[in-house]
Amino acid sequence: GRKVGFNIEPREGPATGGTLVTLHMNAADVPMSHAKWWCSFGDKKVPAQSFFMRPAEQHGGKGTPALLCMAPAGPIRGTVPVKISLDGKKFYAGARFFYNDKGIFKGGGGSSSSL
């Protein structure tokens, strides 16, 4: 089976979701003509916001492909595997995303603890 290698930035964000995560892929692994991508964070599947070429001078002027995905809400202080897919069915793992607890305890969520 083929593998699609990638790394992500940022590697963490709030558990409420909404972090825009850029996934930098290996040009060799990616069918350039492919337009529709998916990301999954743990077991949550989200359609990629966009697929674009990032210029990379160090690769002799050839760009590196990158995906933009919006992280869904996730487990507080939980780490989930991030995967990408060309068809929404077969996913390739390559990174992990950490959900921090920033912004969780502002305003009345379900939490009654007063800090």
Q: How many CB atoms lie within 10 A of CB 42?
A: 17
Residue 1 has a pLDDT of: 47
Count CA atoms within 13 Å of residue 93 on its CB side: 6
Q: What is the pLDDT of residues 2-43, one digit of tens each?
A: 567 899 999 999 999 999 999 998 777 777 667 789 999 999
